[in-house]
């Protein structure tokens, strides 16, 4: 495993002098008539924007200053490993969903700016920040990854690094919740890891499947059904639990585990937090 070395101290860019990256590609990864989600690859060669998987970046959205007159920033997880999608270490990728405002409401998210970026155009970056989701240095570490929608982005980068040279041995339990199977981002790529020992992926399609209680199937329903396995990994095998996506996901995931762990949960949760094994990024 070559990618688990301690993280080097990287230069961090701020709005006064952002790094200027060039758009290599901007590809829609969902079918028409579903949410518009883009996989955007930025060329970072020669600009000194170095990062590790699990970090996030800020994009300076032009022309729309915040009330204080400062440039507006939009934050995304980096979706590639530190080597970039092509393994050459000169690029990064992000996963961006176009936020569609109700008709007549002005755009406020900045997502249109990113989704409409043309190949060859320049983007101002700040950061990188984190990593919120550090790659464990021990390749035997079990990882439980819970992602909703584009919250899959940082885990895509982690998994690419973990499985680049087939040396990752730890069990991985990946849960990805999306509305429909058409919106299962990076599905083919992620399911390819199923050939790796100890990797399991489960999708929750909230508009297509139902949980036992009749509610739309969501990640926490799958995790509740797998709770004995997940708790065993957390209690006895030093597993990490990483959660990324919509706000509230951390609560539903916690309830799924807590209801199975019972009185063990409060002390287990405290232990996970104290040991940095429970990490959350939701918004
Ligand atoms: P979405 O709203 O389409 O939701 C994805 C799935 O999660 C749906 O099936 C939904 O039913 C389910 N869901 C919603 N709330 C849930 C809960 N409390 N517990 C379990 N399942 C739940 O997803 P989206 O529009 O792609 O939004 C993803 C969110 O992730 C955004 O808020 C975004 O800001 C955040 N995020 C994005 C990135 C990134 O790099 N793009 C990184 C970190 C977080």
- Supply the pLDDT for residue 3: 41
Q: Show the tokens assigned to 256.
A: 């799924």
Take atom 38 of ligand 1 and give the residue whose Cα is closest. Answer: 151
Q: Would the CB of 77 count as within 6 Å of ligand 1?
A: yes
Q: Under a CB-based contact definition with an 8 Å cutoff, are residues 217 and 255 in contact?
A: no
Q: Would the CB of 148 count as within 6 Å of ligand 1?
A: yes
pTM of the model as a whole? 0.94
Transcribe 190-230 into DSSP letters. Answer: HHHGGGSTTEEEEEEETTT-B-TTSSBP-HHHHHHHTHHHH
Q: Under a CB-based contact definition with an 8 Å cutoff, are residues 117 and 123 in contact?
A: yes
Q: Would the CB of 219 count as within 6 Å of ligand 1?
A: yes
- Supply the pLDDT for residue 147: 98
Q: What stretch of H or E contains 47?
A: none
Distances (CA, A) of 139 to 146, 162, 165, 175: 19, 8, 11, 20
Choose among 4, 131, 126, 147: nearest CA to 55: 131
**What ranges in 13-164 are assigned the alpha helix state H?**
111-115, 153-162
Take atom 7 of ligand 1 and give the residue whose Cα is closest. Answer: 148
User: Which numbered atom of ligand 1 lies nearest the CA of 56?
Assistant: 40
Q: Would the CB of 177 count as within 6 Å of ligand 1?
A: yes
- Supply the pLDDT for residue 210: 83
DSSP for residue 270: H
User: Which numbered atom of ligand 1 lies nearest the CA of 150?
Assistant: 26
Distance 201 CA to ligand 1 centre (A): 17
Say whether 30 sits in a helix, a strand or coil: coil
Take atom 35 of ligand 1 and give the residue whose Cα is closest. Answer: 245
Cα separation of 28 and 42, whole Å? 15
Cα separation of 275 and 109, whole Å? 35
Q: What stretch of H or E contains 279?
A: strand 278-282
Predicted confidence pLDDT, tens digits, the chain (283 residues):
334 444 556 899 999 999 999 999 999 999 998 999 999 999 999 999 999 999 999 999 987 566 666 788 999 999 999 999 999 999 999 999 999 887 777 666 689 999 999 999 999 999 999 999 999 999 999 999 999 999 999 999 999 999 998 889 999 999 999 999 999 999 999 999 999 989 999 999 999 978 788 888 999 999 999 999 999 999 999 999 999 999 999 999 999 999 999 999 999 999 999 999 999 999 9
Q: Under a CB-based contact definition with an 8 Å cutoff, are residues 208 and 214 in contact?
A: no
- Supply the pLDDT for residue 2: 37
């Amino acid at each position: 495993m070559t990618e688990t070395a301690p993280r080097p101290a990287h230069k961090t860019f701020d709005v006064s002098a952002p790094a200027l990256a060039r758009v290599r590609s901007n590809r829609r990864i969902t079918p028409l008539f579903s949410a518009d989600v883009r996989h955007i690859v930025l060329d970072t060669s020669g600009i000194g924007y170095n990062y590790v998987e699990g970090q996030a970046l800020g994009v300076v959205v032009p022309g729309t200053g915040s009330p204080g007159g400062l440039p507006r920033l939009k934050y995304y997880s980096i979706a590639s490993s530190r080597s970039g999608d092509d393994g050459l270490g000169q690029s990064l990728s992000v996963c961006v969903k176009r936020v569609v405002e109700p008709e007549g409401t002005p755009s406020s998210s900045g997502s249109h700016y990113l989704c409409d970026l043309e190949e060859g155009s320049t983007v101002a970056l700040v950061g990188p920040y984190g990593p919120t989701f550090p790659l464990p240095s021990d390749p035997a570490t079990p990882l439980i990854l819970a992602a909703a929608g584009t919250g899959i982005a940082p885990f895509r980068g982690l998994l690419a690094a973990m499985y680049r040279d087939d040396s990752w041995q730890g069990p991985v339990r990946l849960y990805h919740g999306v509305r429909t199977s058409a919106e299962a981002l990076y599905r083919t790529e992620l399911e390819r890891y199923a050939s790796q020992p100890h990797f399991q992926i489960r999708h929750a399609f909230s508009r297509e499947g139902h949980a036992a209680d009749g509610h739309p199937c969501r990640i926490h329903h799958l995790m509740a059904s797998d709770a004995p396995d997940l708790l065993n990994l957390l209690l006895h095998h030093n597993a990490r639990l990483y959660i990324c996506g919509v706000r509230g996901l951390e609560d539903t995931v916690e309830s799924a585990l807590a209801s199975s762990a019972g009185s063990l949960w409060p002390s287990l949760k405290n232990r996970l937090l104290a040991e940095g094994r429970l990490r959350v990024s939701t918004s």
